[in-house]
Structure 1
Amino acid sequence: MKALIIVDVQNDFMPGGALAVKEGDQIVPIINQVQDKFDFVVATQDWHPADHGSFAANHEGKEIGEFIVLNGVEQILWPIHCVQGSSGAAFHKDLIRDKWKAVFQKGMNPLVDSYSGFFDNNKLGDTGMSKFLKDNGVDEIYICGLTADYCVKFTILDGVLEGFKAHLILDATRAVNINEGDFAKAVIEMENAGAIIGHSSDIE
């Protein structure tokens, strides 16, 4: 069975948000349309405590975009975003949620960031999404949302490693693009890992 995974379509990643993604809001209508093609839909939600170690503001003298070592892993420092219970952490108001079977929250451990919807960046914390999908007979996943070069990419890479046939819905994602070309590099990395790159119109 195939499932749609909607990654982090939250206010802080929208234009005007704390970690704004250019054109991030433009994918919402596409995701809404594509949900009609799936009987099984889940979502992920960035859900950080205010003291999260990935926030530049929590490291004296450090700036957004700098790198540190956080719990043994190289970590880029972000602006404060998607803090638990905040309006920025809420899903976009126009995102249809009627068909969702579950929401998997991530990034709750202040000592490690969590891009993937499956595991944290240290691969120690498991959201339970893989087991949930497999227990429900899902073997093929289609992934959309934000952002292509971070949370979407790592969700796809982990999905492949977990044995799912993984698809990226290219027109239903956007990238942070800290460096120009990050979007294209991420797509190549996902494809090289075994993901299938397609568009919403390709889904039957």
Structure 2
Amino acid sequence: MTAQVDYGPRDALLVVDMQNDFCEGGALAVEGGGGLVPGINAEIDAARQAGALIIASRDWHPIDHISFEHRGGPWPVHCVQDTEGAAFHPDLALDDTTIRVSKATAFDADAYSAFDGTGLAGYLKEKGIERVVICGLALDVCVRATVLAARDAGFATLLLGQLSAAVEPDAVPDCRREFEDAGAEVRA
């Protein structure tokens, strides 16, 4: 596969939540999630070669996270810290230079965006990043929140739609309209 984007040193590729629990066989699997890995790896390789930052976000929940159904939340137990389900997909081409951002780590607060409570926006601005390229899981949940937060933080934002999958595929058109209304570019 070849990359969809021409990257430069003022770009950051942000791979959202490509974790075992969100891929086939996981606790909260998104259909087609694992199939995104080869295309995402092509983007990672292109970004790396161009000197762009590579960031991988992950849900990193404590055992009794507030988002879990047994605590009154909407989700089954997933992405519990230091479990196989919380690990990145084993074929994802992350190396030691990849910046890993953990979110939703507090017992009593949920976080969907990679920017929510992580300090990521300030870090990217400090590094001179102007554009954030986003892909991953799930398009209608954490990818959605991350795209909108990147725009709110003032970054040019590009969503790689072919490298993102939704929990509810019927939600994709509404998400795309919302992204475009917020000023994000959506590449199919």
**Length-normalised TM-score, structure 1:** 0.82
Which residues of 2 match residues 28-177 of structure 1 at below 5 A?
Answer: 28-38=37-47, 39=51, 40-59=53-72, 77-98=74-95, 100-119=97-116, 126-177=117-168
On the 8 A contact 1:49/1:109 being kept in 2, the answer is: yes
On the 8 A contact 1:118/1:130 being kept in 2, the answer is: yes
Deviation at 1:52, TM superposition (A): 0.7
Give the AA of the match of 2:38.
P
Which residues of 2 match residues 188-203 of structure 1 at below 5 A?
Answer: 188-199=177-188
Unaligned runs of 5+ in 1: 60-75, 120-125, 200-204
Give distance in 2, aligned partners of 1:10 and 1:150: 14
Give the AA of the match of 2:186.
I
Query: What is the identity percentage for the equivalent residue pairs of Structure 1 and Structure 2?
Result: 41
CA deviation string 1:63-101 (max 9, x = no partner): xxxxxxxxxxxxx51000000011000000000012744
Give distance in 2, aligned partners of 1:100 and 1:117: 18
Q: CA RMSD in A?
A: 1.3
Give distance in 2, aligned partners of 1:37 and 1:140: 15
State the partner residue of 1:186. Answer: 175
SS at match of 2:26: coil
Deviation at 1:58, TM superposition (A): 2.5
Residue 36 of structure 2 is aligned with which of 24, 27, 37?
Answer: 27
SS at match of 2:162: strand
Identify if the C-alpha distance between structure 1 residues 170 and 18 changes in structure 2 by more than 3 Å, giving closer, same or farther.
Answer: same
CA deviation string 1:114-149 (max 9, x = no partner): 100001xxxxxx201111111111010100010100
Unaligned runs of 5+ in 2: 1-9
Give distance in 1, aligned partners of 2:23 and 2:120: 25
**Length-normalised TM-score, structure 2:** 0.89
Give the AA of the match of 2:128.
G
Give distance in 1, aligned partners of 2:99 and 2:112: 18
CA deviation string 1:151-182 (max 9, x = no partner): 001101010010100000011100111xx511
State the partner residue of 2:3. Answer: none
Give distance in 2, aligned partners of 1:185 and 1:133: 28
On the 8 A contact 1:42/1:100 being kept in 2, the answer is: no
CA deviation string 1:6-50 (max 9, x = no partner): 100000000110001000011100000011221221110100011
Identify if the C-alpha distance between structure 1 residues 8 and 158 changes in structure 2 by more than 3 Å, giving closer, same or farther.
Answer: same
Give distance in 2, aligned partners of 1:12 and 1:105: 15
